[in-house]
Amino acid sequence: MTLQLGDEAPDFTADTTDGPISFREWKRGSWAVLFSHPRDFTPVCTTELGAVAALKPEFDRRGVKVIGLSVDALASHEDWAGDIEDVTGHRLNFPLIADPERAVAHLYGMIHPNADDTFTVRSVFVIGPDDRVKLTLTYPASTGRSFSEILRVVDSLQLTADHAVATPADWQDGDNVIIVPSVSDEDAHQRFAKGFVAPKPYLRITPQPTEA
């Protein structure tokens, strides 16, 4: 099954480094990032897990819960955690799902058989408070992800969930934003007190509404 944007994120139970969880119960209606990595005790994965641990306060600040997954067993995750801290200086501070039966991996389409029929690829799912999939990303095993890009996307998703705006290429929190096409100019003048400029009739730029 391919999970697409807007689909309900499937619920599951699994063993994790923080004990057994039921995904929905663990998530409790907050934003969540669920990501897979291919294997424990591999170099790129070690750097990725340390990077996520370092960024955990940034995910917390945005009300986003983070959870990782690979098809290795719990004892392996627990052993590897020591290496992650040795190498990156960051202790594992979020749960890692042990999925040796590949139950969650198959539920979320994290195994791409034509890339590797045994191990998960580098999948990312951002899931909203409504338990719907808001973003999917798939990277190959050979390419470590930019988790600051995932935070940037979360900033955009959270802003655009509450305001009739979209974010342009390479947007960063605090930058100007775009008024969505479904809002008329008349309505835009009412909604966006700081006004807007329109280099084209379909491209209307306004300061980020959440900025002072």
H helical segments located in the chain: 23-27, 43-61, 74-88, 103-107, 147-162, 185-191
Residue 7: CB minimum distance to ligand BEZ, A: 27
Q: How far is the CB of 116 from ligand BEZ (least distance, A)?
A: 8
Tokens of residue 23, six digits: 């995904």
- Is 142 near ligand BEZ (CB under 6 A)? yes
Q: Does 43 bind ligand BEZ (CB under 6 A)?
A: yes
Q: C-alpha dihedral over 142, 128, 134, 212, to 10 degrees?
A: -100
CA 139 to chain centre: 13
Question: Contact with ligand BEZ (CB under 6 A): which of 10, 15, 21, 39?
Answer: 39
| 118 given a catalytic annotation | no
If one asks whether residue 112 binds ligand BEZ (CB under 6 A), the answer comes out as no
Spatial separation of the C-alpha atoms in residues 94 and 156, rounded to whole Å: 23
Give 22's strand partners: 13
Contact window for ligand BEZ (CB under 6 A) among 19-27, 40-48, 55-63, 72-80: 40-48
The verdict on 42 binding ligand BEZ (CB under 6 A) reads yes
Which residues of this protein are in contact with ligand BEZ, per CB under 6 A?
A: 38-39, 42-45, 141-142
Q: Which residues are catalytic?
A: 45
